[in-house]
Each structure stands twice: as structure tokens, then as C-alpha cells.
A and B are shown apart, each in its own frame.
Chain A
């Protein structure tokens, strides 16, 4: 199984400051079809997960442009350019290249300092 490792697991950030979450996979996520199936989700307290980014760097409709995804191969990053109060929650990466199983990272809890 592909292991997804996120860091940090806890991320205290000052409002208006940038934030960055790393997600590393135990093997390359480049599919034989040439695509990389790496997704980022946000889960606000008490809510269902919400997809933010798909295929590494494509932002979902309605997601603020302060969120961006990047990376390739085994190393991926979610960046928030300026953290706002509504960004508090847990962020997960998910790989869909080598399944079954689909595998999530452990989650990174973002909180406001």
C-alpha cells in the first residue's frame, strides 16, 4: 500500500501569515496514464471533508485563490498564502493513483495562534 506522510501534524499560524503543509508518498504518484492523482481536502470542525485541490494543483470552484497545490512524483505541498479564521480545520492529502486502497495522509490540524 502507498503510505502518505503529512507534516507537520499540527500547524499554529498567525492570521494573515502563510502556511504550508507537506505530503510525501512512499512511491511515485504518476499514473501510467500520465496523470498524478493527488487530492487535498479541508475538514472544518464538525463538517464533512471538502475537496480543495485535485490532480496536484487544480483548485476547485469556489475555493479561494489563497490556496494552492504543487509538487510532483512523491513530494507535494498545499500552501495558504494568507491564513484566515475560516481556514481552521484539518487538512488531508489523498492518493488515487495506486489503488486499492486509496490512502489518506494522517491529517494536519491548522489552528490560529
Chain B
């Protein structure tokens, strides 16, 4: 059974940092591109970032470029999102998702307070 389990969310002040993790199981992790998608409270879905199977190729939404870094460890079957210089508008549930969107984690809540 495919599973994606996010962790690492929490409360942080503006300007702070958090590192999210997404532990994967039930499939060959290294065979898939992986995404982070976020959802602000009561709002719609917003794509954040994607990492290719090759580990080195990454792409970001303009809203997080230069502040967030996506990475993966294929030996540990884990996806990461390093979030720096956090802003109030980054407050959201962050989901990891397998490309092309067929499996999603349960999400982890990040709250940025001023």
C-alpha cells in the first residue's frame, strides 16, 4: 500500500525556519517525481515545488523561490522541504504528493505568526 506521511509542521515566527519531511512507503521511491502542495486555511490548493527523480532538478513557485528548498533522500525514501524566511502568508497545510497526483499525504500544518 502506498503511503506518504508528512511531519515537521508547527508554529514559527516570521523570519523563522522549518523543515518538513515526507516519509514514503509502498512503492519504488526513486522512480517518481514528488511535489509539495499547500493549502492556506479555508483556501484552495497551491502548487509549491517539484523534484525530479534525478534528485538534483528542482522547480519552485515564484511565491517561495529563494526561500524554500526541496530535496529528497532516495536511500531513506524521504522527501523534504526546507522553509526559510517564513512569512505569515506561508501559513498552510503542506501536502506531499506523488506525481502525477495519484497519492497524497495527510498534510502537516505550518503556522507563521507575527
Residue ranges of A at the interface with B (Cβ–Cβ < 8 Å): 37, 39, 41, 43, 48-51, 54, 60, 90, 92, 94, 96, 99-107
Contacts and interface: CB of A to CB of B under 8 A. Distances in A.
Interface residues of B, number: 20
Report whether over half of chain B's contact residues are helix, strand or loop; otherwise say mixed: strand
Contacts of A60: 102
Nearest to B99: A96
Given A49-B45, A49-B95, A104-B44, A99 B101 contact: no
Contact of B44 (A37, A50, A96, A107): A107
Interface string B73-110: 00000000000000000000001010011101111000
A99 to B, nearest CB: 7
B95 A48 contact: yes
